[in-house]
Structure 1
Amino acid sequence: MLTRGRTKARLLLWGMMIGVILYVTWNVLAMQKAKQDTLEYTIVKVLPGDRCIVSGKKLGPDDICLEIRGRRIPLKREALEIFLRDPEKYFAKVQPRGALFTEELKESASLSLGWFFFGLYVLAGLIFAAITAQTAVGKGLPPLRWFFAGLVVNVVAFLIVFCKRRDKNVHVPKGLRKVPSTAEPVPCPGCGSQNHPAAEKCLDCGHPLTPKTQSEVNRAGL
């Protein structure tokens, strides 16, 4: 019973970790989408010779010029709505103001989604690598191999180790200790009370029991 309770608690904890990662990912994606949908611009002075990037007509005193990501976007008043429908289509027609690196510097300030997902992958890899290696040690499997498996394929490696059977003849290297495990109690056939699996009789009714395992006292030779 105690072992099952610990397993459920660990599964709940790992589920919460995965849920937090998915929640953070969803929020970052939502913020990135909101940022892409919002077009930030500044109205600047119309210069002589400016022509509308939509129609190619020369700008007059009633027309406007926008600055977006370091680019001057001359527009006729009637072409403003056309430009706002698909601004990326017209950005390729103009060069950044001044140096060619103006726009690149502004865009590099925000974290790209590629690097964000890579960071999440590394974080999930480290978490599942540790969990998978610990589970492998408890089941008598080589921990180093499963550590790298958890680092690469994350939850898949953990599920494989979790579903494997425990090796009863676990070889513990010198200098290390076996991961402790708690044996499940055995019910008394007479009164139904739970007893230690090494008990020879029931503590409540005194009914004789058949020990399922050797007690720690006998193992120590006491």
Structure 2
Amino acid sequence: MREIIFDTETTGFDPQNGDRMVEIGCIEMIDRIETGQSFHCYYNPQRTMPKAAENVHGLSDVFLSDKKLFADGAAELLDFLGDAKLVAHNAQFDFNFLNAELLLCGYREISRFRMIDTLAIAKSKHPGAKLSLDALCSRYGIDRSHRVKHGALLDAELLSQLYIELTGGRQIGLGLAEDTKRQDAIASMRPTSRPAERKTFMAAREHQADAEELARHKIFIEGIENPLWAEI
């Protein structure tokens, strides 16, 4: 199964208010294993970057000024995404921005049936706990010491590790290993099979009681007191 773990950085919180996506980072996984394939791109939002947003991800107007427009790279991004499931933390936010950008340049929205939200998974596993990416990385022992500011590709890489933990990836692997050991142990206790031995059987002999034997048998039967068959 092919899945894309992705994250976005934006100018704000709501594309309906004119906010734009300025960065996307994607990590490819097949059967919950990273393939080493990734997609990363910055986009010129064609608007100024609010200071509050720049403080989060560090992407300034100057840095983004020479980057391509989303419309110029949309086909390349869609080609990488293919028809894979799309995994994000608080996925509704990222889908809103991704689909808003696609609509602006004439593409169809990506179906939300393809969306997997790790925030929703974390809520079901850890109700009442802190569920930010930082907090969950700390809970699962994922090293985030190099995460000074938010960055789409870096956050996608962290999220790929978190996604495996949230879906029991390591435990599943250990379970399979333990099951293999158990099966090997059971097999070692079974007796070693040996070729069947050839046995010689005597041919059945013909036998028929003679008159004297039948007479003695009758006397023996009649001498039994209270036989069970007499009650039938």
TM-score for both structures, normalised by structure 2: 0.25
Structure of higher RCO (CA pairs closer than 8 Å, 6+ residues apart): 2
Q: Which structure: larger Rg?
A: 2
- More strand by percentage: 2
